[in-house]
Structure 1
Amino acid sequence: MKGPRETDFAYQAVYRYLSGLIGETVSHTRMRLPSLRELAERLNVSISTIQYAYSLLEKEGRVYSVAKSGYYAPPAPAINTLYSSNDLLESVYVNARRPGMLVLSGDDPALLQPIDSPLLLLERELLRQYPRQPQPNSQPCGELELRMALAARYTASPVRCWHADDVYIGADLRGVLEILIAVLGLKDATVVIESPCDWGILRLLQTAGVRLIEWPLRADGSLDREHLKDLLETEPVRLVMVSSGLNMPRGSQAPEENRRAIAQLLQRHDCWVLENDCYGELAFESEGLRFRDLLAPERLIVFSTFEKIVGPEAPYGYLLSRHLAVEWQRHFLLRAFRLSPIRQKALARLYSNGRIDQHLQLLRRRLKDSKEQMTQLLCERMGDTLQIVEPEGGATVWVRTLPRVDVREVFQRLLKHQVVIAPGELFSLQGLHTQHLRLSHSFGSDHDLATALGLLGDALRRASIE
């Protein structure tokens, strides 16, 4: 496993090994996977390498973790057998990965306009430039060149500036957020979070024992200032999580005046502000001021991932913070993420030579074209059954069913036709958005899309009649 040309990419070999292990068994019950320590001894690699490989599989929905128990592979029924579970999220994950399914539940913007070829080409060039060292200098918070590139990208003025020492890079977004929960002491603390919110973030916070209060967006996409004011005055709020500008899955942006009012309110209260910037560069048009442009940096932390704009070849998560440096460094050292320095250098070069900006221009254009095609088809085929929130960015469309229907029933009906959707209740822990759906507009062929939407329309009409 530790051959002369494999050390930096050992996680890839572990990932392939685990993929084979998962694929060996067809079972109607979940399969417990080997522990981190057991696999590290079996494969002769570090525990952090095993953890990184598991995190990639978890991101793909092929494994999931159970606190104090370990990692499990979801039940893997025979190919021609539909999978049903009381856990809606698990059911979405498993069925979306069955062969032959039309997946309307995904959210992978980068797949529409990949940048993997330039990334891997740069990586090969860098491997020739940087001969391997037996014991390379450890950079537990990420490669310095990439941290410098990110700091420069986020710097907006001499006051709102960032330095490499303010940037921390981890194996994936989940690992970075787990460190954030530990450093800020969020277990049993009260956190206010925009709703709807990404299901991965919701489940992570829930598992960590965080007390979540959802802060629903208004129908026009604006943030409810009075609701937040009440929460800040009546609850022991430790942290408020906001989108940098583009809220996903809704795909809308709060008006700039509304954002300014929220920022002014947050400045008057002693709580951390966590800015979710995962989709910050995927707005179709200029996104205007972000919360980090409006808030003093004393209580501000920003987190994001490369995956939404680069793709699965760059699963790393990162955060920016000008405070708690000793605690961040200690936790990143304890976690000991094993990241490829060469791939990080290649990413840094894509930023510094302007390739990321060129890529983003093409990606936004393709996403916008794909969105327009999708919304046109939705209006033509389901204008009487759906209300569409016009997306301002991203790779999905947020819709509300006009007749009141059981969306779970619609989900089950579509599975029988090999179509997977994402019911809105996945994006809330408090029973919100039960009449909503998130639909991907960046998948498959035009024929597949038209077919899937036709089946969705039929399922909605049947559910509304019954």
Structure 2
Amino acid sequence: MNNNRTDFAYQMVYRYLSRLANELPEGPAVKLPSLRLLARRLRVSISTVQNAYSLLEKEGRICSVPKSGYYALPQPCNDIQCEGEDLLERYQASTRRADMFVFGADEPTLLQSLDGALLSLERELMRHYPCQSDPRFQPFGDVELRAALAAYYTSSAQHCWHPDNVFIGPDKIGVLKTVLKALQLRDCAVLVESPCSWTILRTLQSFGIRVIELCTDVEGVIDADELDGLLRHGDVKLAILSSRMDTVRGRMLGADQRMRLAQVLNRHGLWVLENDSQGELCFDEQFTPLRDLIDPQRLLIVGAFDKTIGLEAPFGYLLTRHSRALWHRQLLLRSFRLPRIRQKAIARLYSSGQLERHLHGLRQCLKQRVDHLALMIGDFLGEDVTFDPPQGGATIWVNSRHRVDMRRVFERLLEQRIVIAPGELFSVRGLHQQSLCLSGAADWSQNIESMLVIIRNALVQERLV
């Protein structure tokens, strides 16, 4: 199957199985392909197929029979509406439906991924390493991957990293939770840029953390004096900021702005967590990352591989030079047990230069796609919205020129089988209610022009007087 026209790897399998189950004749339960057969057919891992089957089983669409396999259950109706008042839950439930056109998902590797290369490397490595569990448990991640990341992040003698500074977790959120626990931030305040990833916002809220949102003005400028006053009186212990660009809007601060921002943060002695999950997707590769301007003893870098390699590389990672014993203790308590061979395969992508070549092509592909989408948005929505062309990533942040009820726009589009990401998802204070996020990594085999016409009509119909 073509990775350019899919969602997450397990969602690709999920959609395939959903269609397969829908096309089966009514009657008794019908047996579905085995995990091994489907993994071979779709060229994914067995665990990926297992995740898709588990999701369908939770939804009551299939059942597992011990020593027999999985069976599709008859469905009274395939047009089940997503229920509930929580906007994020409705958004996520809608993106999982096979009949929806997902126009708001921020998944750059849908255009070009290394999933195939990663799995090929894994199969090759399996011939050189024993299949049984390695008794030498590595709670901080495979040494080869930690060394590869340390080398990748080392940019000079002044900005160098070592394997002992690197820790691997199951995903970025798992690593973020480890950071919040280690720094004992429960009931404290954390500063985030706004708009901010909803996974980060929800994770902070789950720890009882007060979130302070930092917004730029209409020209994308941060008022350093205002920030200084906020930090002086706000009891903020940690700032979570992007590496090179705002990961939601794809915008970058100018060099002077970043320098003033770093000076204020350093002066107040804050912990600074650099979110580097999409730092390598900037179209301009020359921008200095935030980490080079921050006090190294107060710096944490959190990233993941899924936005650059693909969904077969779900792991997250942490880089820090501070108190190795603290992080050892936290990671030992959490006892992450991660597939060793998959980690080694990711390390080989780094050390061979294959990842660098892939990123060069991915950036070009993303720029072409978002530039094309920007032209179409201008043609079809130009009278109703404004937007700044992104400087990286896969999404375009769109602002309505008129006051609209964006929740009603979202609901109206769901009725048309279109899923957008309303701006409200990216704030805990109800900010960005006149904005929405569209993805250039959507399924381009669909009629994008007609989708934009439907969005324009929804924006017009939901205008507020």
**d(CA) in 1 for partners of 2:286 and 2:185?**
30
| Aligned amino acid, residue 254 of structure 2 | P
CA distance in 1, matches of 2:411, 2:286: 37
State the distance in 2 between where 1:445 and 1:22 align. Answer: 30
Does the aligned pair in 2 maintain the 1:246–1:287 contact within 8 Å? Answer: no
Counterpart secondary structure, 1:265:
helix
1:13 and 1:180, CA in 2 relative to 1: closer, same or farther beyond 3 A?
same
Q: Distance between the aligned counterparts of 1:387 and 1:12, measured in 2?
A: 39
Match of 2:58 among 2, 5, 22: 22
Question: Could you say if the C-alpha distance between residues 209 and 355 of structure 1 is closer, same or farther in structure 2, counting changes exceeding 3 Å?
Answer: same
User: 1:427: which partner in 2?
Assistant: 426
The residue that corresponds to 1:370 in the other structure is 369
The 5 Å alignment of 1:6-45 reads 15=51, 18-24=54-60
Deviation of 1:287 (Å): 4.5
Q: Counterpart of 2:184?
A: 185
Quick check: 95-104 or 202-211, which moved more? 95-104
Q: Deviation string for 1:66-125 (max 9, x for gaps)?
A: xxxxxxxxxx99531322321000111111111221111201101100211111111111
Distance 2:463 2:133 in 1: 65
Q: Does the 8 A contact of 1:116 with 1:311 survive in 2?
A: yes
**Aligned equivalents of 1:395, 1:192: Cα separation in 2:** 25
Query: Match of 2:140?
Result: 141
Change (3 A) 1:417 1:303: same
How far did 1:451 drift? 2.1
Distance 1:94 1:122, change over 3 A: same
Instruction: Give the Cα–Cα distance (whole angstroms) in 2 for the partners of residues 343 and 77 of structure 1.
Output: 40
Identify unmatched segments of 5+ residues in structure 2: 1-44, 68-74
2:417 is matched with 418
Shift of 1:13: 7.8
Segments of 5+ residues of structure 1 without an aligned counterpart are 1-8, 27-41, 44-75
**Paired residues for 1:38-437 under 5 Å:** 78-437=77-436
Q: Secondary structure at the match of 2:186?
A: coil
Relative distance call for 1:78 and 1:141 in structure 2 (3 A) is: farther
Distance (Å, rounded) in 1 between the aligned partners of 2:442 and 2:454:
16
Deviation of the 1:297 alpha carbon: 0.3
Output the CA distance in 1 between the equivalents of 2:379 and 2:445: 15
Report the Cα distance in structure 1 between the residues aligned to 2:444 and 2:269, rounded to whole angstroms. Answer: 50
**Counterpart AA for 1:187:** R
String of CA shifts for 1:313-369, please: whole Å, max 9, x gaps: 001011101112112112212212221111111110110110000000110111001
Instruction: Give the match for residue 459 of structure 2.
Output: 460
- Cα offset, 1:284, TM superposition: 1.2
Residue 99 of structure 2 aligns with an amino acid whose one-letter code is G
Secondary structure of 1:129 counterpart:
coil
* Residue-pair matches, total: 411
Overall identity of the aligned pairs, in % = 43
Give the letter for the 2:126 counterpart: L
Root-mean-square deviation (Å): 2.1
1:17–1:333 CA distance, 2 compared to 1 (3 A) = farther
Q: Residues of 2 paired with 1:12 and 1:447: CA distance? A: 26
Relative to 1, partners in 2 of residues 1:168 and 1:78: Cα closer, same or farther, differing over 3 Å? farther
TM-score normalised over the length of structure 2? 0.85
Offset of residue 278 of structure 1: 0.9
Asked if 1 retains the 8 angstrom alpha-carbon contact of 2:111 and 2:441, the reply is: yes
Name the aligned partner's letter for residue 437 of structure 2. Answer: R
Structure 1 CA distance for aligned equivalents of residues 133 and 325 of structure 2: 28
Inter-partner Cα distance in structure 2 for 1:395 and 1:87: 25
Amino acid paired to 1:211: R
Q: Could you tell me whether the CA contact under 8 Å between 2:371 and 2:389 is conserved in 1?
A: no
The answer to whether the 8 Å contact 2:405/2:464 transfers is no
The letter for the 2-side match of 1:83 is C
Letter in 2 for 1:156: S
Give the secondary structure class of the aligned counterpart of 2:393.
Answer: coil
Give the CA deviation at 1:443. 1.3
Contact 1:166 1:322 in 2 (8 A): yes
8 Å contact kept, 1:196–1:217? no
Q: Match of 1:267, as an amino acid?
A: N
Return the offset for 1:14.
6.1
Deviation at 1:16, TM superposition (A): 5.5
The amino acid that maps onto 2:303 is S
Counterpart-to-counterpart distance in 1, 2:266 and 2:226: 16
Provide the TM-score with structure 1 as the length reference: 0.84
CA distance in 1, matches of 2:335, 2:77: 38
Q: CA deviation at 1:24?
A: 2.2
In 2, are the aligned partners of 1:422 and 1:439 still within 8 Å (CA)?
Answer: yes
Alpha-carbon distance in structure 2 between the residues aligned to 1:20 and 1:435: 35
Q: Distance in 2 between matches of 1:116 and 1:134?
A: 24
Q: Which amino acid aligns with 2:162?
A: H
The offset of 1:233, in angstroms, is 1.2
Instruction: Tell me which residue corresponds to 1:6.
Output: none
Conservation of the 8 A alpha-carbon contact between 2:380 and 2:449: no
Cα separation, partners in 2 of 1:246 and 1:363, compared to 1, 3 Å: same
In structure 2, do the counterparts of structure 1 residues 179 and 134 end up closer, same or farther at CA, with 3 Å as the change threshold?
closer
Counterpart of 1:247 in 2: which secondary structure?
coil
Alpha-carbon distance between aligned partners in 1 of 2:270 and 2:464, rounded to the nearest angstrom = 48
SS in 2 for 1:374: helix
3-state SS of paired residue (1:400): strand
* Letter in structure 1 aligned against 2:455: L
Pick which of 232-241 and 138-147 moved more: 232-241
Change (3 A) 1:249 1:134: closer
What's the counterpart of residue 71 of structure 1? none
Distance in 2 between residues matched to 1:99 and 1:152, nearest whole Å: 41
Q: Compared with structure 1, are the counterparts of its residues 10 and 403 closer, same or farther at alpha carbon in structure 2 (3 Å cutoff)? A: closer
Q: Distance in 1 between matches of 2:396 and 2:200?
A: 19
Paired residue type of 1:289: T
State the Cα distance separating 1:152 from its structure 2 match.
0.8
- Which range moved further: 128-137 or 256-265? 128-137
